Structure formats: structure tokens, C-alpha cells
Amino acid sequence: MGVDTLGTPCYNNIINKEHMTFKSTFTSDQLVNWFKENVGETVGYTDCERAANEFGVKGPSIAARLKTLVKRGEAQKLAKGSGWQLTKVQQIAKSLEKNLAAPAVEPKIDVNYIPEKDSHYVPFGNFTSLKKIIQSKQFYPAFITGLSGNGKTLGVEQACAQLNRELIRVNITIETDEDDLIGGFRLVNGDTVWHNGPVIEALNRGAVLLLDEIDLASNKILCLQSILEGKGVFLKKTGQFVKPAAGFTVFATANTKGKGSDDGRFVGTNVLNEAFLERFPITFEQSYPSVSIETKILLNFGCDSEFADNLVKWAGVIRKTFFDGGVDEVITTRRLVHIVQAYSIFGDRLTAITNCVNRFDDDTKQSFLDLYTKVDAGEESDTQNPDQSF
């Protein structure tokens, strides 16, 4: 097998063995002469890429040939008649070998990607199903959709925390591309070094990959097609094939179902490719927690029972009105937690609520504050009828 095809077995042999027969269209003497004529006293991986373009092969082939010349004691060819010294050539070859063999910019560090357990978290909704998928260690991608602030991401995180599984979370934007996800070459000390992206790290480690806010992505996300089939991915720039380690799976969260947002509430969301969506065999619809669960969440954050009951009742009326089309905004579970945290700082209920609803337009903000005043005063009859509340 020739080196220039850069199949994985061939590539690994070139890096690991001292004596290889190179079947290619250029000789070592031609390579040496090219370097003497076109490269100065310092050389890096980019120079190998230039040589590769000249000889019509891949960059790793050039670097491997240079390394072999040094190992065979033929590096004098490079040093003779040029400004390069033999020791410098050896350093270059050693550096190139390191760049090709190491998958990351920095030396590999033993990093633990297992999330910390959140003492405030209360399991609800699809948590049990998410946990079963992760616990099975099967490759089974799942799409999780639902309104903002209802625990989609936190559910995946805490399932991994409870099961002692590594989680790699990637926040998707319209700018996210293959280089961000799969990886690419980075400039380090004048040399370009391959750096694994988060997807490759998850594949190698058998971790859970979380693609957060997936509906913000462009069509560049299609680089994940083979990965979503559980088949791994071929790294075009290094000639390596990365297979998923046992336990690897993918979750994606979104406020929409990948069909865009008609009402404009989730600006920036896109219509996702149908073939991409089809690679998620299951979709979970996440709703806000029940009254009892939401109350327990607030109590876990240190809220007193009376305030927690009032906040949950207040949010429930607003949500019903929202779903009936009577108001354009909604109070999320996340915002209720923000209010409880604000109360612990400011010590006044109305101040905490006001600060946390200031993000809404004036009419909506005032309606929400008026409604809470009624709830706090115990005006049960009024708050049971949303039409009287707004």
C-alpha cells in the first residue's frame, strides 16, 4: 500500500516504523532539492503542505518522508550545501512527528468531563427516559424539544452526573462549522498542529455529546451525518478514521422541532435538513414541571413555602393565558428560580419579581406585577380566570 493514499493502516505504519518503501511519484533527492530551493533555515508543517502541493500528495506524506530520512541517517542531504544544520533537521523531523501523532494542540491532559450533581435538581418530564438511554450505553440519538427554561439541557446533564458518565456540551450557533465540531489545524509556535474538536473528543472517550440549541445551526451541521448514524468519521485533513468508543451517543436540544419559528419568539432558529432530523430516531417533548415538582424545585433553592406556592400559582396562570393566546410572554421555571435567587439578595418579594420581569415590555411587565399582587393577596377567584387577570 502506498503512503499517498493515506489510509489509516498505511499512515500509522509510516509514523511508527523506521524502514518503509515509498511508492510515490517523487524521490527523496527531489524532495531534498525542493526544500533547499524553497525553504529557509526554519521549516514547519506549512512547508510540508507546500511541498505536498508541489508533488501532488498529502502533507503527512511529506512529513513522514522527511522523518524517515533522518532515521535512515540521510539527513545530511538536507544539511549539506544549505544553511540547515543536521541537528536542526533532526529537530524539525521530531517536531513534525509530534504534530502528526498528537491529536491535540496541547499535551493530552486527563480531564474529567463528568458533570457535578446539582443538589437543587428535581427529576421530572423525560428524565427517566434520558437516563435509560444513557445507562444502556447504546448509540441512540435523541432530539429534545420544548419552550425555553424548562430543563431540557439540565436533564441530560444531571442524568450523566447520576450515572457517572462524561458529557461534552456544544452550544450551536449559525456560525458553527465543521472546524468547530470536528477539529482542525491550529498554529502553535510557528507550526500547525491538529486539534480535536468536541465531537471527536466525545467519539474517542465514549462520552455523551450534547448539541445544545441545534435549531440555530446552518447547513454546515451536516458534517455530522455519518456520526449520527453511529459510523464514526473520516478526518479528511489527517487521513485518520475515528470510530465511536463504547457508550458514545448524541442528544440535541431545541426550542423548535427543526421547522423554524413562525411566531418570531425564537429568532435565529432555522429549518433543519430533513435528512439530518431523520437521523434522530426519537423526539422528546419537554413541558414545564407540574405544580408539585416546580414547588419542590423552588424550595430546594431556599424559598419559603408561602412564596414558592404563590410563585408557582402565578406562573401557572400566566402560562395558561399564554397557551390560550392571551399574552405573548411566559414565565419559565428558570425565571422562577431567578426570582428566588433575587429575593435571597434583595430581601423583598416585589423587588425581586420586578427586577426579574423588567425584560418584558411595559404593558406585559405591569400585567404580571398586578397579577402577582392579586395572588399574594389571596384573591383566588380572580386568578382562576385568566381573562380577568390580563
**Is 115 among the domain residues?**
no
- What's the CA gap between 327 and 323, in Å, rounded? 8
pLDDT recorded at residue 299: 97
Q: Give the DSSP letter of residue 360.
A: S
Is 88 found in the same domain as 56?
yes
pLDDT recorded at residue 112: 87
Q: Which helix (H) or strand (E) holds 251?
A: strand 249-254
Is 177 found in the same domain as 242?
yes
- Structural contact between residues 211 and 172, judged by C-beta atoms closer than 8 angstroms: yes
Coil/strand/helix, residue 167: strand
Q: What is the DSSP track for 12-74?
A: HHHHH-S-----SSS-HHHHHHHHHHH--S---HHHHHHHHHHHTS-HHHHHHHHHHHHHTT-
pLDDT recorded at residue 213: 94
Is 151 found in the same domain as 18?
no
pLDDT recorded at residue 4: 32
Place of cell 522523518: 67
**Is 23 among the domain residues?**
yes
Domain stops at, among 258, 285, 312: 285
pTM confidence score:
0.71
- What's the CA gap between 152 and 158, in Å, rounded? 10
- Structural contact between residues 93 and 32, judged by C-beta atoms closer than 8 angstroms: no
Give me the helix-helix angle, 333-346 and 349-357, nearest 10°. Answer: 130
Which residues are bridge partners to 208 per DSSP?
167, 249
Number of H helices, E strands in the chain: 18, 9
Is 259 found in the same domain as 297?
no
Is 266 found in the same domain as 131?
yes
For residue 262, the domain's CATH number is 3.40.50.300
Is 324 found in the same domain as 228?
no
Is 181 found in the same domain as 295?
no
Domain stops at, among 226, 261, 285: 285
Which residues are bridge partners to 191 per DSSP?
188
pLDDT recorded at residue 258: 84
**Is 354 among the domain residues?**
yes
Residue type, 141: P
Those residues of the chain that have pLDDT short of 70 are 1-25, 40-47, 49, 58-60, 63, 67, 70-110, 261-267, 380-390
pLDDT recorded at residue 12: 32
Domain stops at, among 285, 320, 342: 285
Q: Which helix (H) or strand (E) holds 133?
A: helix 127-136
Range of the domain at 238: 127-285
Is 236 found in the same domain as 318?
no
Residue type, 103: P
- Structural contact between residues 44 and 10, judged by C-beta atoms closer than 8 angstroms: no
Is 254 found in the same domain as 366?
no
**Is 107 among the domain residues?**
no
Task: Give the cell for residue 351.
Answer: 423587588
- What's the CA gap between 107 and 39, in Å, rounded? 28
- What's the CA gap between 199 and 249, in Å, rounded? 11
Specify the pairing of strand 240-242 against strand 233-235: antiparallel
- Which residue intervals of 288-361 are DSSP H helices? 291-300, 305-323, 333-346, 349-357
Instruction: Please give the order of strands across the beta sheet that includes 282-285.
Output: 167-171, 208-212, 249-254, 142-145, 282-285
- What's the CA gap between 295 and 292, in Å, rounded? 5
Is 156 found in the same domain as 37?
no
Number of structural domains (the chain) is: 3
- What's the CA gap between 295 and 308, in Å, rounded? 6
Coil/strand/helix, residue 336: helix
Diameter over CA atoms, the chain: 96
